[in-house]
Amino acid sequence: MAIVSAPGWFYYEENNKRLGEVSYLIEEKGQVLALNHTYVDPSMRGQNIAQQLVDAVCDLARSKDAKVKPDCRYAAVLFRRFDEKYADVAMEDGPNANSCSI
């Protein structure tokens, strides 16, 4: 699986069809990546694609010595479930973390 990077996005595409995506906003002069949306096509669910996309945002944050604000319910749950994995980049849940649909 190849994850593609674009400004504000990481996504997984197959045969020119986007099957998974995560978007983020850059805040606080680049010191915070607000992860605000994740989506995986139903045909691809259960393959950890969403987690891999969130991990790509976290790796980007690490490379910039930045933090990630999980402003999406999926990301917020993932950060709580695997708190040790994300402890170095995680901020408190954003204000929309409970309203984002998974």
Q: How far apart are CA 15 and CA 65, in angstroms?
A: 34
Q: Does residue 35 register a pLDDT over 90?
A: yes
Q: How far apart are CA 62 and CA 14, in angstroms?
A: 27
Residue-level length of the chain: 102
Tell me the per-residue pLDDT of 60-102, one tens digit each, with 9 for 90 and over: 999 999 999 999 999 999 999 999 999 999 987 655 555 555 4
Would you say domain 3-86 falls under CATH 3.40.630.30?
yes
pLDDT at residue 7, as a whole number: 94
pLDDT at residue 2, as a whole number: 84
Of 35, 19, 44, residue with least CA distance to 78: 35
Q: How far is CA 51 from the centre of its chain?
A: 7
Measured CA to CA in angstroms, residue 22 lies from 10, 85 at distances of 5, 18
Q: Where are the domains of the chain?
A: 3-86
- The percentage of residues in the chain with a pLDDT greater than 70, rounded to a whole number, is 89
Q: Which residue has the higher pLDDT, 95 or 35?
A: 35
